[in-house]
Structure 1
Amino acid sequence: MDVVVGSTNPVKKRAVERIVAEFDGSVTAVAVDSGVSEQPSSIEETVTGAKNRARRALEATNADYGVGLEGGVARLEQAPGVRLIMWASVTDGERIEVASGPSLRLPDSVGDRLEEGAELGPVMDERLGTENIAEAEGAAGALTSGLTSRTQALAEAVACAFGPFVTTHYESD
């Protein structure tokens, strides 16, 4: 199984590698445009970015599957505060699947900055005194004290988006 991920961010590649390793597959990374803002601010925009990345990555290669990962922020009606959200998309060129990773509430001061137009990675770097947290543990790792990480959270989304491609349970749909 040859898989291409539509990002050169090493965290996103590692997330896909964790899942594809179950199938002895290979993962390559290509830079593609998500077609959405640098900081998606809704579920719709985040899902659109993930789908665009999956399609564009597959079109740029001859892989079996294209994977797109997109992190965003959103307010959810049922949960307080601004939340970090993560979505994955997988396509084989004929169909496309999407799934979410976990979400977590961001500190109010971070959420306020994001609603003013800032991007999560730089805001977290400034707050924590780090550099390029988006290519390391991510906000998910920092805000859970390592109970999860950006890689692990994204890998969960990838696993769920890949599900319909690797099981027969969807064949009668």
Structure 2
Amino acid sequence: MVTIAIGTKNPTKLEAVKVAFEGTVATFIPTSVDSGVANQPFSDEETIQGAINRAKAARIKTESSVGVGLEGGVFETSYGLFLCNWGALYDGVNDPFIAGGARILLPESVAKKVREGLELGEVMDLYTKENNVRHKEGAVGVFTNGLINRTEMFTHVAKLLVGQYQYKVRN
């Protein structure tokens, strides 16, 4: 049986990984690990590195077959501040498999607070007057009017990772 370590205990990310590995006989082990990057990654590079760090750390900490790291971040463009999300899957044999997902422009009122130093999750709690938006629909769910939620966004990334991994292992 395959053991799959997930470098977080965030329910949206856990569900995404479980859906991506659907049909695989596996034990999933959620574990808290440090991303090794800022609490609010501020570029694609930093967000990717956070995902890789989580995947590797989760695999090592739990002695699992595979580690998966999912990381949300933001990045600046001439159009404004965008939300981004990246993932990595690490099996200890191959280089990490990496995939990215949806990107949406954040409203300027939200972007301003993130630029001032607050994490996007904190800003979303203030913006929506709710708690733990990052553990539910996420910013993407709020700003897409619920058409895409955080679990769906990360499921897309996780499926890209699992597909790459399965292809490599089979070929």
Aligned residues of 1:164 and 1:170 also touching (Cα < 8 A): no
- Partner of 2:73: helix, strand, or coil? strand
Whichever residue aligns with residue 37 of structure 2, its letter is: V
Q: Which residue of 2 aligns with 1:101?
A: 101
* Secondary structure of the structure 1 residue equivalent to 2:88: strand
**Match for residue 149 of structure 1?**
149
CA distance in 1, matches of 2:62, 2:169: 28
The residue type paired with residue 17 of structure 2 is V
Aligned to 1:43: 44
Q: TM-score when scaled to structure 2?
A: 0.93
- The residue identity in structure 2 corresponding to 1:74 is F
Q: What is aligned with 1:124?
A: 124
Alpha-carbon offset, residue 76 of structure 1: 3.8
Give, in angstroms, the shift of residue 170 of structure 1: 8.6
| CA-to-aligned-CA distance 1:65-101 (integer Å, 9 cap, x gap) | 1000100000246xx2101000000010122111001
Provide the secondary structure at the position in 2 that maps to 1:22: coil
After superposition, the C-alpha distances for 1:8-33 in whole angstroms (9 at most, x for unaligned) are 11111111111112323331100100
**Alpha-carbon separation, structure 1, partners of 2:157 and 2:88:** 8
Distance in 2, matches of 1:62 and 1:169, equals 19
Shift of 1:112: 1.1
The one-letter code matched in structure 1 to 2:162 is F
The number of aligned residues is 169
User: Structure 1 residues 42, 35: closer, same or farther in 2, change over 3 A?
Assistant: same
Task: Pick closer, same or farther for the CA change 1:97–1:76 going to 2, 3 Å.
Answer: farther
Q: Which residue in the other structure is 1:5 paired with?
A: 6
Q: Could you tell me which runs of 5 or more consecutive residues in structure 1 were left unpaired when the two chains were aligned.
A: none
Does 2:92 correspond to 1:90? no
- Stretch moving more, 85-94 or 157-166: 157-166
Q: 1:40-88 CA deviation, whole Å, 9 max, x = no partner?
A: 00001100000000000000122211000100000246xx210100000
Report what 1:14 is aligned to: 15
TM-score normalized with structure 1 length: 0.92
Shift of 1:169: 9.5
Report the RMSD for the aligned CA atoms in angstroms. Answer: 1.6
Stretches of structure 2 that go unaligned for 5 or more consecutive residues are none
Partner of 1:161: 161
Partner of 2:76: 75
Identity of aligned residues (%): 37
Matched, 1:25 2:26: yes
Q: Residue in 1 aligned with 2:115? A: 115
2:29–2:62: 8 Å Cα contact kept in structure 1?
no
In the TM superposition, residue 168 of structure 1 has moved relative to its aligned partner by 5.2
Q: Distance in 2 between matches of 1:24 and 1:6?
A: 19
Counterpart of 2:62 in structure 1: which amino acid? Answer: T
